[in-house]
Structure 1
Amino acid sequence: MKKRFKTIAFQGMAGAYSDLACRMAYPDLETVPCVSFDAAFRAVRKKEADLAMIPVDNSLAGRVADVHDLIPNGSLFIVGEHFQKIRHCLLGVPGAKIAELTDVHSHVHAIPQCKKIIKELQLTSHVVADTAKGASDIKKWKDLTQAAIGSELAADIYGLDILRKDVQDADHNTTRFLVFSRSNVVSPARKGQRYITSFVFEVRNIPAALYKALGGFATNGVQMVKLESYVGKYFNVASFYADVEGHVDERPLQLALEELGFFAKKVVLLGTYPAHDYRYAP
């Protein structure tokens, strides 16, 4: 897949963790910064980028706001997933010293993920659009008292000093990204490769609709690894986003989806793609 594409869009400025995820998963592709998640989706739809790398969940912060409403309405397909370990650094302008810092600038999720060092250094925290924006701002200000929390990539791009590495409170801090394409690229199942299939569905407005809709996955031995709801505008019928283990061409998953169709008003397949090795790490 990597050879067919040249560009990959992400939300944020150069040096953001989404940019880092793009470079780690697709080192040969050119990254395309976008001002919003919607803009990243739009860039792919308008052929301004071939792929989009979108964060959906973080092991500390939970699901990423606004993204899940875009997924079923973005007219794109999921072709991959990537898990990015978040390793925050305390960044300063060249010549800055930790003892002289007074303020720190970063994303709304990054700041609470680094509460220990902020408390230790008695810094006043400021929320900005993303971690790269904080890095860009302090570079522009050239103020030795101002710091940012961001990635090593951001330090490299904006010419900042890494004053301390791994300042996150929890080492398991990891973000799951989904990769979107205009085409529903589903490769044939390969022996030894595990797969994830993603879809959205709307249940009928009847008692136990969700229970009945999901029964086929249990009886056919299909593991469901994610299920999230979308509330309808009248709050009486819900839609759901689901990830299950298995390839769409495999008979157990086909039978489970067939049974789902009996109890759901609508089922939309979003993609089948290789499961990332992170899922099965010891």
Structure 2
Amino acid sequence: MAGYNLGEFYATRDAWNSRHAQWQSHCAIVSSQSAAQPEEQHEHSKNTGSGINGDLKEGSIQILAASNGAAAKSMMMILPKPLSIADLAMPPSHGSTLRVAYQGVPGAYSEAAASKAYPECEPIPCEQFEATFQAVELWIADRAVLPIENSLGGSIHRNYDLLLRHRLHIVGEVQLPVHHCLMALPGASIEGIRRVISHPQALAQVEHTLTNLGLQAAREAVDDTAGAAQHIVANNLRDTAAVASARAAEIYGMDVLASGIQDDPGNMTRFLMLAREPIIPRTDRRFKTSIVFALEEAPGALFKALSAFALRNINLTKIESRPQKNRPVRVVDDSNHGTAKYFEYLFYIDFEASMADPRAQNALGQLQEFASFIRVLGSYPMDMTPVVPPGKPKVISTT
């Protein structure tokens, strides 16, 4: 191949293998024991080699929960650094364990969702949502698990846009109850907290509870819930608390001052499981199908599109509209009011039917008559796992 520098290839490969070996020696991410989707349990990578987590056992994470804050800070350095876009240029070193990419740092809710979807997986943290897609496309990871909507905060629009930009397929969904905890460095008390940091949605989801606890601290938004806990430990911020998961407190050696502090006990986040190849649709269990389409501007166009499902008794579980980025605004001359501007939209729809169901096939056939563009993002099993409601907020430490 003209212009191909073999020396640069080997140098890049050696850099990746060196970092991979460091991860293999130190990473200690604990996988959850929740149930996986039956269709996904057997889809493990067929490549050979050692995994990122190696042979470390669950007990090795306990060292990070040392009561001494300084010890927790020093041990925090052994956690895997999230992949960045630059890291994805390096050739991968595949392992035999299913590798699942997620956005965030260890202790993030996305990591818990990845472990619930694939209990025996090797979670791979990534800095950005974009990096999780690229990790799968470049064969660094086998799956990606990304949040798509929250019962309180609504849709994660960034991931809707990325679903269209990339060619990954939705192969499953997992719903994760969000149980927030207030945590600080060992020895801290609620009375001594002057600042609370977390992801902006997490802060909004605990506002009333924090006020009821008598916490009059300033709120500050950061990129990640678990990242907030990591930041406090790294900078020894004794007057600052984080809102994150109980697992984040365990990893970073923090004290939980109060647990279950979400304002709404039904706080739930839905995650999508993504893969390079689609799964085969079936009709022997409940399936959901996700599509995206565009319509030509015309009176009743959306009504006609949706009627393709209503006439076949297909239940729509979600509809989301996003402006088309290549032509977001349409200019129409209006003799009475000058120039009117209209956004052109893409419509994302989830409906309860498998693509193996003739009703779904016929509905999409009718939709094609009105749509200028249509794409099936995935047809996958619905998450039917029962949800156990959390208890009331519990103050664990105020001294």
CA contact (8 A) 1:186 1:271 kept: no
Q: How does 1:91-240 map to 2 (within 5 A)?
A: 91-119=183-211, 120-190=214-284, 193-232=285-324, 233-236=327-330, 237-240=344-347
Q: Shift of residue 278 of structure 1?
A: 5.3
Q: Deviations over 1:23-44 (max 9, x none)?
A: 1221200111111111111111
Deviation of the 1:161 alpha carbon = 1.3
Matched, 1:69 2:157: no
Name the stretch that deviates more: 36-45 or 210-219.
Answer: 210-219
Structure 2, gaps ≥5 residues long: 1-39, 45-97, 331-343, 390-399
Greater Cα offset, 93-102 or 156-165: 93-102
Confirm whether residue 2 of structure 1 aligns to residue 34 of structure 2: no
- Asked if 1 retains the 8 angstrom alpha-carbon contact of 2:281 and 2:354, the reply is no
Shift in Å at residue 238 of structure 1? 2.4
The farther-off stretch of 249-258 and 204-213 is 204-213
**Closer/same/farther in 2, CA of residues 59 and 88 from structure 1, 3 Å limit:** same
Q: Which amino acid aligns with 2:346?
A: S
Q: Deviations over 1:87-127 (max 9, x none)?
A: 00011112222222221111111111111243321111111
1:245 corresponds to:
352
Q: Distance in 1 between matches of 2:366 and 2:142?
A: 35
Q: What SS class does the counterpart of residue 231 from structure 2 fall into? A: helix
Residue-by-residue CA offset, 1:190-220 (whole Å, 9 max, x unaligned) = 2xx2110011111123322211122211111
- Map of 2:65 onto structure 1: none
Cα RMSD of the aligned pairs, angstroms, is 1.8
How far 1:234 moved relative to its partner?
4.1
Match of 1:271 in 2: 378
The answer to which of 226-235 and 40-49 deviates more is: 226-235
Matches within 5 A, 1:254-269: 254-269=361-376
Give the CA deviation at 1:56: 0.9
Secondary structure class of the residue paired with 2:313 = coil
SS at match of 1:221: coil
| TM-score (structure 2 length as normaliser) | 0.67
Q: Which runs of 5+ in 1 are unaligned?
A: none
- Once residues 247 and 315 of structure 2 are traced to their aligned partners in structure 1, the CA distance between those partners, rounded to angstroms, is 37
- Give, in whole Å, the separation in 2 of the partners of 1:181 and 1:81: 12
Quote the offset at 1:80 in angstroms. 0.4
1:194·1:274 contact (CA, 8 Å) conserved in 2?
A: yes
- Give the TM-score normalised by the residue count of structure 1: 0.94
Q: Given the superposition, is the C-alpha separation of residues 170 and 281 from structure 1 closer, same or farther in structure 2, using an over 3 Å criterion?
A: closer
Structure 1 window deviating more from structure 2 (103-112 vs 199-208): it is 199-208
Offset of residue 264 of structure 1 = 0.8
SS at the partner of 2:115? helix
For residue 279 of structure 1, report the CA deviation from its aligned partner. Answer: 8.7
Paired residues in the alignment total 280
In structure 2, do the counterparts of structure 1 residues 127 and 246 end up closer, same or farther at CA, with 3 Å as the change threshold? same
Aligned to 2:206, the other structure's residue is in SS state helix
